[in-house]
Amino acid sequence: MQFVILDLEWNNVYGKKIKGFFNEIIEIGAVKLDEKLNICDEFTCLINAQVGKTLRSNTKEITHLTNEDLKKGIAFSKAASMFKKWLDNDEDTIIMSWGDGDIRTLVDNCKYFGCGETIPFLNKYADLQKYFQRMVKSENKQQIGLKNAAEMVGINSENMSFHRALDDSRVSALCFKKVYDEKILKEYIYECNDDFYKRLRYKVKVISFIKNPLVDKSYLTYKCEKCGGKAKQLTNWKYSNQYFCSNYYCPKCDYGVKVMVRFRKMYDSTEIKKIIKPLLKIEEPIEKAAEKSGE
């Protein structure tokens, strides 16, 4: 078993072949780890971009790469086969990346440049960012960027240039070593089979129709959080910006809230998020609202 940490840089371009935008890979960087999780080998390669002949200004800004740099690169398909060769034993390799964006981009590029529907060198994969967040017990659902992660575990990254593929994979490797736990990591390693790609291609959908059978009505309720008593519903549930929203009021506590519930259809589950915000001002006269709900 060997660990390889991969990082890509890309340029967002319009692909005529797919009649849409996609991220064209412009650089591949990776590090291989030994048993002690130290870097024992490195891979770096610039890609001579075929679709976007010129870099977008934000790509230039982020990566500090120039159009001249890319001209020295090689075609993506050649880089992919060189990378496979570099892995040496790809069947026994666990590839990791900071977030699964790199893997999604690889799938798109492999397809676009005729290397197949799947990634030819990917057999086992772990999302290092997801694993890291679990290990540092981040309550925040928001994803941790690599730079912040490095700071969190006390890695001095002053001399590193973030957003270059090799440097990013080096920093990722240092972060990985700091939070390594063989048993927990196992939960994050996926076999890259059909199911893996189906999950990867799956697009999360927000449910906007309240009568959708996936809307669990038991979440569309509110009990006063101060007294635990029944609160009056002031407004009907209304869909707005991903959330079903309704205002509630507890007369006993003279306390009003806006209840927001979002239902998202995931690959094989429904994800529910409920937010409760105090109402600063009860806009509707309560008596009138109470009458309405009694109709």
Residues that bind Zn ion (CB under 5 A): 224, 226-227, 229, 250, 252-253
Question: Any idea which residue has 């973030």 for tokens?
Answer: 162
- In the bound state with Zn ion, the residue whose beta carbon lies nearer, of 86 and 255, is 255
Distance of closest approach, residue 232 Cβ to Zn ion, in angstroms: 10
- In the bound state with Zn ion, the residue whose beta carbon lies nearer, of 223 and 292, is 223
In this structure, is the dihedral angle defined by the CA atoms of residues 128, 133, 136 and 137, taken in order, positive or negative?
A: negative
Distance of closest approach, residue 204 Cβ to Zn ion, in angstroms: 35
Distance of closest approach, residue 2 Cβ to Zn ion, in angstroms: 59
Please say whether the beta carbons of 27 and 8 come within 8 A: yes
Distance of closest approach, residue 255 Cβ to Zn ion, in angstroms: 6
Distance of closest approach, residue 292 Cβ to Zn ion, in angstroms: 20
- In the bound state with Zn ion, the residue whose beta carbon lies nearer, of 73 and 256, is 256
Distance of closest approach, residue 274 Cβ to Zn ion, in angstroms: 18
Token readout for 38 is: 């130290």
- In the bound state with Zn ion, the residue whose beta carbon lies nearer, of 65 and 259, is 259
- In the bound state with Zn ion, the residue whose beta carbon lies nearer, of 52 and 256, is 256
Residues 6+ apart with CB under 8 A from 290: 232
Cα separation, 154 vs 170, in Å, equals: 15
- In the bound state with Zn ion, the residue whose beta carbon lies nearer, of 133 and 233, is 233
- In the bound state with Zn ion, the residue whose beta carbon lies nearer, of 42 and 225, is 225
Distance of closest approach, residue 291 Cβ to Zn ion, in angstroms: 20
What does the chain look like in DSSP terms, one character per residue? -EEEEEEEEEEEEEEGGGTEEEEEEEEEEEEEE-TTS-EEEEEEEEB--SS-SS--HHHHHHH---HHHHHTSB-HHHHHHHHHHHHS-GGGEEEEESSTHHHHHHHHHHHHTTS-SS-TT-SEEEEHHHHHHHHTT----SPPPHHHHHHHTT---TT--TTSHHHHHHHHHHHHHHT--HHHHHTTEEE-SHHHHHHHHPPPEE---TT-TT--GGGS--B-TTT--B-EE-S--EEETTEEEEEEEETTTTEEEEEEEEEEE-SSSEEEEEEEEE-SS--S-HHHHHHHHH-
- In the bound state with Zn ion, the residue whose beta carbon lies nearer, of 200 and 289, is 289
Distance of closest approach, residue 223 Cβ to Zn ion, in angstroms: 8
